[in-house]
Amino acid sequence: MSRLILFSFVLLFGVSCISNKRITYLQNLPENEPIGLDEFIPFAEYEKNYILQPFDVVDIDFASANEELTKAFEFQGSRNMRMGGAGMMGAGDMFFLTGYALDSEGNVDLPRLGKIKIGGLNEEQAKLKVQEAINEYFKDEVYVRLRIGGIRFTALGEFSSSGTKTILKHRATIFDAISMAGESNILAKKNKLFLIRQYDGGSKIHQINLNDRALLASPYYFIQNNDILYLEPMKIRQFGNAENFSASLGLIISVTTSLLLLFALVTGNL
């Protein structure tokens, strides 16, 4: 009987134990050169200026000493909505309501100026192109401000709060995104975070290892607008989620122990 109890405890330990190596962020993995504490880690080459794509939403605002000029170039009430409605709905939503959406060909349709192609340009290049268009329309100086309404990304899989999120920054790391989506639970494969990134004319899937300290020098350390993050669950997930996992294991061990005890009684080993 003592052997049966010992076997049950060994089974419980073996099934329920998840190694810290699978759940700890930013480790020095054996296959990589170790990165010590306080060691300087230069950023990898990455696209610092997001390239505008079809269906993106940009906020375009105008300023001039002549207030009547600026009113001619914005939709009625959009400025008041930005000032008064941001507190009620959140700044990220206001960009969608008051901003300008690029069409399928990358054009933005502005009052009086008509369609201007800014797809394929970064923010500064797009701003200059709109500035050139308005300078041809008016001799008076009109200042143009163009920006993306934060970094929008989608989190799916083993996050505590999945869905589409908006980080109101011009630059954000993968850990900013994870923090906003809710840190992944213990049953997530932190070595298999899939990043689906939009490129000109298509998408690519990249795999990220959150356990790896070398991630800090990866070109995917910084997220971009329209990124999709999918965090895969461990195979052990089939036994239950993080909240009921212990209860599921307890049930499995109880059933196993009962079957072993019954077998021992039948075979006369007790």
| pLDDT score of 109 | 92
Residue partners of 26: CB distance under 8 A and separation at least 6: 210, 211, 212, 213, 215, 216
Global pTM reads 0.68
Cα 153 from Cα 145, distance rounded (Å): 23
DSSP letter string, 142-198: -EEEEEE-SEEEEEEES-SS-EEEEE-SS-EEHHHHHHHH----TTEEEEEEEEEEE
Read off φ and ψ for residue 163, nearest 5 degrees: 130, -175
Task: Let me know: does 11 contact 256? Beta carbons within 8 Å.
Answer: yes
| pLDDT score of 91 | 45
| pLDDT score of 270 | 55
The CATH number of domain 57-148 is 3.30.1950.10: yes
| pLDDT score of 90 | 46
Domain limits, the chain: 2-18+238-267, 20-47+151-233, 57-148
| pLDDT score of 76 | 53
Mean pLDDT of the chain: 77
| pLDDT score of 134 | 86
99-130 pLDDT, tens digit each: 888 999 999 998 888 999 999 998 999 999 99
- Any idea how long the chain is? 270
pLDDT along the chain (270 residues), means of 10: 51 51 72 83 74 87 78 62 50 67 91 90 93 82 84 90 87 92 78 89 90 90 92 67 53 70 67
In the block, tokens 């206001």 appear at 94
157-197 pLDDT, tens digit each: 888 888 999 888 878 999 999 999 987 667 778 888 999 99
| pLDDT score of 88 | 45
Homologous superfamily, domain 20-47+151-233:
Outer membrane lipoprotein wza domain like (3.10.560.10)
The helix/strand/coil state of 261 is helix
| pLDDT score of 36 | 83
Q: Is 56 exposed, middle or buried (0-12, 13-18, 19+ CB in 10 A)?
A: buried
